[in-house]
Amino acid sequence: MNFFSAKVLLLILFSYNYAFANVQLIKKENSDDNTTLLVIAGIHGDEPGGYFAASILATHYNITSKNLWIVPNLNQKSILKNSRGIHGDMNRKFATLKKSDKDAETIKEIKNIILTKKVSLVLNLHDGHGFYRKENHGKIFNPNAWGQTCVIDQCNLLNQDQPFGNLNSIALDVKERMNKKLLKKHHSFNVKNTKTKFDDEAMQLSLTYFAVTNNKPAFAIESSKNLSSLSQKVFYQLLAIEEFMNIMDISFTREFKLTEKNIDNIIKNYGNISINGNFSLNLTNIKKSLSFIPLRLKSNVFEFSNPLGSVVQKRGMFIAYVGNKKILTLKPQYFEMVEKCAEEFEVIIDGNKVSLNNTSDIIVNDDFNIIKKNDYRVNVIGYSSRNHQNESGLSIKLKDLNKRFSVDKSNRVYRVEFYKNNEFCFMSKVHFK
Ligand SMILES: [Zn+2]
């Protein structure tokens, strides 16, 4: 088995997506043990260090013993707006809440997930202000800062027998392990005990306090908003989560070395969007806007490989986001869709005739020629031929294509669309090396 197929297989075995009405839950499970770490990110929509870390955890980690559950974008609508909370602070809604509150359903779902019997420990990811220090060293480094801390509500759970109930000693252990791996000395981690029950009324309304009062060990991880890059924030979040997995004896592998540079590359790889199952687009290096995209008038289905992907419809456009990053605007052209299309098409690539699955890419050095197929009309977007309605049977080179119509910023990828009568069937893309 080569490396790639091993990876695909693991994803199929261990990644299950549970879409509740409001909350996305990704489960990576093994059958050897019920011990489960639940990682929750994005409760505050303007703290991307947490939710990009959770997304990488979902896509780039394999869990080889015990279980990891991930909620990568709890407050998804606020993430899109890069707002702490478009309906107020979601992390102050866990004690009591009016039924009419716009977050009520989300809160109900996440509470049920936290209380699931199998969940052994809960992490709530944040990016906090400054760098926490026990003494005051100015605006950024002081006791009121939250950044670079592992936050606990109290030293121990009430039930002494609860596994991982010794919150303070676990937090101290995580802090010590992390401080051996810092990128810069002043990034040092600390434990912050809010002594919620006695000292902190606001925190009594929080997710972690809800968890600990229900006998679930819970911690908040705060990277610092004052770190110099998103990848640094994600680095510390992943480092903290890995140390929790080590303490819980959850084994994992990842396909990259944990460095700031590698994390930066992974974040910039936005993955794919598949649309209605009849075409897909690679969102990395894609143009900001694409026109005349064949969509249905209603009920289009958008599927992202990135858990932070979502589509917002606005003024007749479809806008694709990954987290808080606006990636692509699609200007639609509405079509009826052919119900049953051919599953393959034939094409001559650089002189060799091959058969391809209908939505796979045509990778070309020099030229390609879609072989004529009965009933199908081919439209190569960016190729203008006054004499042809159907652009199959023509040898086409990169220089024949108008860059204005390329899909990617490097002007090397173009759309090849198949129609039957006037209905849309599927889209391949030609990719010049
Ligand atoms: Zn926060």
Summarised one tens digit per residue, pLDDT across range 313-322 is 999 999 999 9
44 Cα–ligand 1 center, Å: 5
Q: Is the confidence at residue 75, as pLDDT, over 50?
A: yes
Q: What residues are paired with 281 via a beta bridge?
A: 273
370 Cα–ligand 1 center, Å: 53
Q: Which helix (H) or strand (E) holds 403?
A: none
pLDDT at 158: 87
pLDDT digits (tens, 9 = 90+) for 211-220: 999 999 999 9
**Residue among 378, 365, 382 at smallest CA distance from 287:** 382
Gap between the Cα atoms of 85 and 235, Å rounded: 24
Per-chain residues with Cβ under 5 A from ion ligand 1: 44, 47, 126
364 Cα–ligand 1 center, Å: 48
156 Cα–ligand 1 center, Å: 23
126 Cα–ligand 1 center, Å: 4
9 Cα–ligand 1 center, Å: 35
Cβ–Cβ < 8 Å for 404, 381 = no
Q: Band of the pLDDT at 12, cuts 50, 70, 90? A: very low
11 Cα–ligand 1 center, Å: 30
229 Cα–ligand 1 center, Å: 17
Helix (H, G, I), strand (E, B) or coil at 4: helix
61 Cα–ligand 1 center, Å: 24
**Residue among 342, 388, 397 at smallest CA distance from 368:** 397
pLDDT digits (tens, 9 = 90+) for 223-244: 999 999 999 999 999 999 999 9
74 Cα–ligand 1 center, Å: 12
211 Cα–ligand 1 center, Å: 16
Contacts 24+ apart (CB under 8 A), 54-59: 54/125, 54/237, 54/307, 55/306, 55/307, 55/308, 55/323, 56/234, 56/238, 56/263, 56/266, 56/267, 57/238, 57/241, 58/15, 58/26, 58/28, 58/307, 59/271, 59/305, 59/306, 59/307
222 Cα–ligand 1 center, Å: 8
Over residues 280-288, mean pLDDT: 96
Gap between the terminal Cα atoms of the chain: 27
**Residue among 298, 302, 299 at smallest CA distance from 279:** 302
* Domains of the chain, first to last: 3-268 (3.40.630.10), 272-334 (no CATH), 344-432 (no CATH)
pLDDT at 77: 95
pLDDT at 19: 61
How are beta strands 24-28 and 15-19 bridged, if at all? antiparallel
Looking at every residue in the chain, the average pLDDT score rounds to 93
For residue 14, how many other CB atoms are within 10 A of its CB? Answer: 18
Q: What are phi and psi of 325, to 5 degrees?
A: -95, 120
